[in-house]
Structure 1
Amino acid sequence: MELGNVSDAGRLGSCFRGKNVSDGNRGYLTSPWFSTIFGLIGLSSNLFAFCVLVNSSRKMHSRARSSFLVFLCGLVVTDFMGLLVTSCIVVPYHFIQFDWRNVDPGCHLCNFMGLAMVFFGQCPLLLGATMAGERFLGIYRPFSRSVNMSKRRAWILVCLVWALGFFLGLLPILGLGDYTLQFPNSWCFLTLLHDAGNRAFCLIFALLGIFCVGLSFFLNTFSVVTLCRVYHDSESVQRRRDSEVEMMVQLLIIMVIASACWLPLLIFIVQTALQNADHISRQTENSLLIYLRVATWNQILDPWVYILFRRAVLKRIYPSLKTRPSIVSLYPVLNTSLRQKFTQESVLQ
Structure 2
Amino acid sequence: MQSYILVKVLSFQPKQNQQDSNPFPNFQNHSSEPNHYFNATSPPPSGTISPNVAYMTAELIIAFLSTVGNVLVCAAVGINQKLRTVTNYFLVSLAVADICVGSIAIPCAILTDIGLPHHNLPLCLLMLSVLIMFTQSSIFSLLAVAVERYLAILMPFRYQTLMTRRNAILIILLTWLLAFLIGLIPLMGWHKTPPELGYCFFVSVVDMAYMVYFNFFACVLAPLVIMFLIYAQIFATVKNQMRRISFAHSRRGEVQRSMAAGLRKEIKTVLPVFLVLFLFTICWIPLHVINCFLLLCPHCSVPFELLLAAIILSHANSVVNPFLYAFTMTAFRNTFKAIFLCCRPVRSSESDSSIGS
TM-score with structure 1 length normalisation?
A: 0.70
Is this contact kept in 1: 2:101–2:134, CA < 8 A?
yes
* Distance in 1 (alpha carbons) for counterparts of 2:193 and 2:328: 38
2:215 counterpart residue number: 205
Contact 2:149 2:270 in 1 (8 A): yes
SS in 2 for 1:121: helix
Contact 1:110–1:180 (CA<8 Å) still a contact in 2?
A: no
Counterpart of 1:80?
Answer: 99
Listed as ranges, the matches of 1:73-152 within 5 Å are 73-91=92-110, 97=114, 99-100=115-116, 103-152=117-166
Of 224-233 and 157-166, deviating more is 224-233
Q: How does 1:11-22 map to 2 (within 5 A)?
A: 17-20=42-45
| Bigger RCO (CA 8 Å, 6+ sep) | 2
**Which position in structure 1 is the counterpart of 2:269?**
247
Q: Is the 8 A contact 1:176 1:201 kept in 2?
A: no
1:39 has 2:58 as partner:
no
The match for 2:316 is 297
Kept in 2, the 8 Å contact 1:210–1:266? The answer is no
The whole-number CA distance in structure 2 between the counterparts of 1:145 and 1:287 is: 45
SS in 2 for 1:175: coil
Displacement, 1:144? 0.8
User: What residue identity is the alignment partner of 1:255?
Assistant: L
The corresponding residue for 1:343 is none
CA contact (8 A) 1:179 1:188 kept: no
Q: CA deviation at 1:87?
A: 3.1
Which residue in 2 is equivalent to 1:306? 325
- The offset of 1:104, in angstroms, is 3.4
Q: Secondary structure, in 3 states, of the residue corresponding to 2:45?
A: coil
| Contact 2:97/2:135 (8 A) holds in 1 | no
2:333 and 2:52 map into 1 onto residues whose CA distance is 42
SS in 2 for 1:236: helix
2:202 corresponds to which residue?
189
Alpha-carbon distance change, 77 to 314 in structure 1, aligned in 2, over 3 angstroms:
closer
Decide whether the 8 Å contact of 1:265 with 1:292 is kept in 2. yes
Q: Give the direction of change, closer, same or farther, for the CA distance of 1:81–1:19 in structure 2 (3 Å limit).
A: closer
Deviations, residues 188-209 of structure 1 (Å, cap 9, x unaligned): 535598xxx5414432111121
Matched-pair contact (CA < 8 Å) for 1:82–1:116: no
On the 8 A contact 2:137/2:176 being kept in 1, the answer is: yes
CA separation in 1, counterparts of 2:193 and 2:59?
21
SS at match of 1:171: coil
Distance 1:73 1:242, change over 3 A: farther
What percent of counterpart residues are identical?
17
- Matched residue SS, 1:80: helix
Residue 270 of structure 1 is matched in structure 2 by 292
- C-alpha RMSD of matched pairs (Å): 3.9
Q: Could you say which residue in structure 2 is the equivalent of 1:218?
A: 229
Size of the aligned set, in residue pairs, is: 292
Aligned-residue offset at 1:275: 2.8
User: Which stretch shifts more, 220-229 or 138-147?
Assistant: 220-229
Farther off after superposition, 239-248 or 145-154: 239-248
From the two aligned structures, give the one with the greater helix fraction: 1
Distance 1:236 1:254 in 2: 30
Residue 322 of structure 1 deviates from its aligned partner by 12
Aligned-partner SS, 2:184: helix
C-alpha spacing 1:313/1:200, structure 2 compared with 1 (3 Å): closer
Is the 1:133–1:219 Cα contact (8 Å) retained in structure 2?
Answer: yes
